[in-house]
Structure 1
Amino acid sequence: MTDILLDKIGDLKMANGDFVLGYSDNTHQEHILIATKGEFKEFPELGVGLSKMLSDDDYMPFLIDAKKNLEYDGMKINNIKFEENGNLNIDGNYK
Protein backbone atom coordinates (compact mmCIF):
# COMPACT_ATOMS: atom_id res chain seq x y z
CA MET A 1 0.00 0.00 0.00
CA THR A 2 1.29 3.50 -0.78
CA ASP A 3 0.85 6.30 1.74
CA ILE A 4 2.63 9.29 3.23
CA LEU A 5 5.84 8.05 4.89
CA LEU A 6 7.13 8.86 8.35
CA ASP A 7 10.75 9.27 9.41
CA LYS A 8 12.49 7.27 12.16
CA ILE A 9 11.01 9.42 14.93
CA GLY A 10 7.48 9.42 13.55
CA ASP A 11 7.41 12.84 11.91
CA LEU A 12 6.17 13.34 8.35
CA LYS A 13 8.94 12.60 5.88
CA MET A 14 9.56 15.59 3.58
CA ALA A 15 11.60 16.06 0.41
CA ASN A 16 11.77 19.14 -1.80
CA GLY A 17 9.06 20.82 0.30
CA ASP A 18 6.53 18.00 -0.18
CA PHE A 19 5.43 14.80 1.52
CA VAL A 20 7.27 11.61 0.59
CA LEU A 21 5.06 8.77 -0.62
CA GLY A 22 6.02 5.11 -0.57
CA TYR A 23 5.46 1.58 0.72
CA SER A 24 3.71 1.92 4.08
CA ASP A 25 2.45 -1.55 5.08
CA ASN A 26 5.04 -1.96 7.84
CA THR A 27 4.13 1.43 9.30
CA HIS A 28 0.43 0.53 9.32
CA GLN A 29 1.20 -2.75 11.08
CA GLU A 30 3.33 -0.97 13.67
CA HIS A 31 0.63 1.60 14.44
CA ILE A 32 -2.07 -1.07 14.81
CA LEU A 33 0.11 -3.13 17.16
CA ILE A 34 1.07 -0.13 19.34
CA ALA A 35 -2.34 1.60 19.48
CA THR A 36 -4.90 0.63 22.08
CA LYS A 37 -8.58 0.27 21.30
CA GLY A 38 -10.19 3.69 20.95
CA GLU A 39 -7.13 5.53 19.64
CA PHE A 40 -8.33 5.30 16.03
CA LYS A 41 -11.48 7.41 16.38
CA GLU A 42 -13.00 6.27 13.07
CA PHE A 43 -12.37 2.60 13.97
CA PRO A 44 -12.56 2.41 17.80
CA GLU A 45 -12.19 -1.40 17.93
CA LEU A 46 -8.87 -1.29 16.03
CA GLY A 47 -5.70 -1.55 18.12
CA VAL A 48 -3.82 -4.26 19.97
CA GLY A 49 -2.02 -2.43 22.79
CA LEU A 50 1.52 -3.78 22.65
CA SER A 51 2.46 -2.03 25.92
CA LYS A 52 -0.22 -4.02 27.79
CA MET A 53 1.17 -7.27 26.41
CA LEU A 54 4.63 -6.44 27.71
CA SER A 55 3.35 -6.57 31.29
CA ASP A 56 1.59 -9.92 30.82
CA ASP A 57 3.23 -13.37 30.91
CA ASP A 58 0.69 -14.92 28.52
CA TYR A 59 1.37 -13.61 25.00
CA MET A 60 -1.13 -15.85 23.17
CA PRO A 61 -4.08 -13.40 23.56
CA PHE A 62 -1.82 -10.71 22.06
CA LEU A 63 -1.08 -12.86 19.00
CA ILE A 64 -4.77 -13.69 18.51
CA ASP A 65 -5.76 -10.02 18.83
CA ALA A 66 -2.91 -8.91 16.55
CA LYS A 67 -3.96 -11.38 13.85
CA LYS A 68 -7.60 -10.31 14.11
CA ASN A 69 -6.74 -6.58 13.94
CA LEU A 70 -4.33 -6.93 11.01
CA GLU A 71 -6.91 -8.96 9.10
CA TYR A 72 -9.49 -6.25 9.85
CA ASP A 73 -7.06 -3.79 8.24
CA GLY A 74 -7.05 -5.89 5.06
CA MET A 75 -4.11 -8.26 5.54
CA LYS A 76 -4.19 -11.96 4.84
CA ILE A 77 -2.21 -13.49 7.72
CA ASN A 78 -0.62 -16.90 7.12
CA ASN A 79 1.16 -17.02 10.48
CA ILE A 80 2.07 -14.70 13.33
CA LYS A 81 4.51 -15.71 16.06
CA PHE A 82 7.34 -14.61 18.29
CA GLU A 83 10.76 -15.83 17.20
CA GLU A 84 13.22 -17.25 19.76
CA ASN A 85 15.06 -13.90 19.78
CA GLY A 86 11.82 -12.10 20.77
CA ASN A 87 11.09 -10.53 17.36
CA LEU A 88 7.50 -10.63 16.16
CA ASN A 89 7.26 -12.40 12.79
CA ILE A 90 4.19 -11.58 10.69
CA ASP A 91 3.83 -13.77 7.61
CA GLY A 92 1.16 -12.09 5.53
CA ASN A 93 0.38 -9.46 2.94
CA TYR A 94 -2.27 -6.93 2.07
CA LYS A 95 -4.93 -8.18 -0.33
Structure 2
Amino acid sequence: MRNDILINENYEPLIRNGDFVIGESDRQHVIDITFAHPGEYKRAPMLGFAAVLQLKKNRNDNQFKRDLNIQLEYDGYNNPDIDLTGGYENLKINI
Protein backbone atom coordinates (compact mmCIF):
# COMPACT_ATOMS: atom_id res chain seq x y z
CA MET A 1 0.00 0.00 0.00
CA ARG A 2 1.37 3.39 -1.01
CA ASN A 3 0.61 6.78 0.48
CA ASP A 4 0.63 10.05 -1.38
CA ILE A 5 -1.13 13.40 -1.56
CA LEU A 6 -4.75 12.62 -2.40
CA ILE A 7 -6.62 14.37 -5.18
CA ASN A 8 -10.32 14.84 -5.87
CA GLU A 9 -12.27 13.95 -9.03
CA ASN A 10 -11.10 17.24 -10.61
CA TYR A 11 -7.43 16.30 -10.02
CA GLU A 12 -7.04 19.02 -7.40
CA PRO A 13 -5.17 18.22 -4.17
CA LEU A 14 -7.37 17.56 -1.17
CA ILE A 15 -6.71 20.09 1.58
CA ARG A 16 -7.91 19.77 5.17
CA ASN A 17 -7.10 22.27 7.92
CA GLY A 18 -4.75 24.10 5.56
CA ASP A 19 -2.62 21.05 4.74
CA PHE A 20 -2.53 18.39 2.06
CA VAL A 21 -4.39 15.17 2.82
CA ILE A 22 -2.11 12.13 2.74
CA GLY A 23 -3.62 8.70 2.32
CA GLU A 24 -3.67 5.35 0.55
CA SER A 25 -3.12 6.17 -3.12
CA ASP A 26 -2.84 2.88 -5.06
CA ARG A 27 -6.21 3.38 -6.75
CA GLN A 28 -5.22 6.92 -7.70
CA HIS A 29 -1.91 5.67 -9.16
CA VAL A 30 -3.63 3.00 -11.25
CA ILE A 31 -6.06 5.56 -12.68
CA ASP A 32 -3.19 7.93 -13.47
CA ILE A 33 -1.19 5.21 -15.26
CA THR A 34 -4.25 4.09 -17.21
CA PHE A 35 -4.93 7.54 -18.65
CA ALA A 36 -1.40 8.99 -18.88
CA HIS A 37 0.42 8.95 -22.20
CA PRO A 38 3.97 7.62 -22.47
CA GLY A 39 6.36 10.50 -21.83
CA GLU A 40 4.14 12.38 -19.37
CA TYR A 41 6.21 11.12 -16.44
CA LYS A 42 9.70 12.52 -16.98
CA ARG A 43 11.27 10.13 -14.47
CA ALA A 44 9.64 7.13 -16.19
CA PRO A 45 9.14 8.04 -19.86
CA MET A 46 7.88 4.58 -20.84
CA LEU A 47 5.10 4.66 -18.22
CA GLY A 48 1.60 5.46 -19.46
CA PHE A 49 -1.12 3.36 -21.07
CA ALA A 50 -3.01 6.17 -22.88
CA ALA A 51 -6.40 4.44 -22.62
CA VAL A 52 -8.05 6.97 -24.92
CA LEU A 53 -5.64 6.09 -27.73
CA GLN A 54 -5.83 2.37 -26.98
CA LEU A 55 -9.61 2.44 -27.43
CA LYS A 56 -9.24 4.09 -30.83
CA LYS A 57 -7.12 1.18 -32.02
CA ASN A 58 -8.93 -1.85 -33.30
CA ARG A 59 -7.70 -4.28 -30.65
CA ASN A 60 -8.98 -7.35 -28.96
CA ASP A 61 -9.56 -7.60 -25.22
CA ASN A 62 -6.53 -9.80 -24.58
CA GLN A 63 -4.13 -7.32 -26.21
CA PHE A 64 -5.70 -4.44 -24.27
CA LYS A 65 -5.36 -6.31 -20.96
CA ARG A 66 -1.81 -7.44 -21.75
CA ASP A 67 -0.60 -3.92 -22.56
CA LEU A 68 -2.32 -2.41 -19.51
CA ASN A 69 -0.82 -5.15 -17.34
CA ILE A 70 2.68 -4.29 -18.63
CA GLN A 71 2.19 -0.62 -17.78
CA LEU A 72 0.97 -1.39 -14.28
CA GLU A 73 3.93 -3.71 -13.72
CA TYR A 74 6.30 -0.83 -14.61
CA ASP A 75 5.07 0.85 -11.42
CA GLY A 76 5.27 -2.29 -9.29
CA TYR A 77 1.69 -3.54 -9.51
CA ASN A 78 2.36 -7.19 -10.31
CA ASN A 79 -0.39 -9.47 -11.60
CA PRO A 80 -3.31 -7.02 -11.44
CA ASP A 81 -6.75 -8.46 -12.13
CA ILE A 82 -8.09 -6.60 -15.18
CA ASP A 83 -11.80 -7.26 -15.72
CA LEU A 84 -13.45 -6.33 -19.02
CA THR A 85 -16.59 -8.43 -18.62
CA GLY A 86 -18.69 -5.25 -18.41
CA GLY A 87 -17.02 -3.75 -21.48
CA TYR A 88 -14.42 -1.00 -21.68
CA GLU A 89 -16.81 1.49 -20.06
CA ASN A 90 -16.85 -0.64 -16.90
CA LEU A 91 -13.17 -1.53 -16.73
CA LYS A 92 -12.23 -2.85 -13.29
CA ILE A 93 -8.66 -3.19 -12.07
CA ASN A 94 -7.90 -4.95 -8.80
CA ILE A 95 -4.35 -4.73 -7.53
TM range (shorter): 0.7 to 0.9
Name the TM-score, length of structure 2 as normaliser: 0.85
Q: Which runs of 5+ in 2 are unaligned?
A: none
After superposition, give the CA deviation of every residue in 1:48-84 in whole Å (9 maximum; x if it has no partner): 0111022123143332111011112111225323122
Question: Matched residue pairs, number?
Answer: 92
- The 3-state SS of whatever aligns with 2:47 is coil
Name the TM-score, length of structure 1 as normaliser: 0.85
Q: Which runs of 5+ in 1 are unaligned?
A: none
* Aligned counterparts of 2:82 and 2:73: Cα–Cα separation in 1: 11
Query: Could you tell me whether the CA contact under 8 Å between 2:81 and 2:93 is conserved in 1?
Result: yes
Shift of the 8–32 alpha-carbon distance from structure 1 to 2, 3 Å rule, reads same
Query: Could you tell me whether the CA contact under 8 Å between 2:69 and 2:80 is conserved in 1?
Result: no
Q: Percent identity?
A: 35
* Aligned counterparts of 2:80 and 2:41: Cα–Cα separation in 1: 25
State the match for 2:48 in structure 1: 47
RMSD: 1.5
Single out whichever of 71-80 and 34-43 deviates more from structure 2: 71-80
State the match for 2:9 in structure 1: 8
* Aligned counterparts of 2:71 and 2:18: Cα–Cα separation in 1: 34
1:36 to partner: Cα distance: 0.9
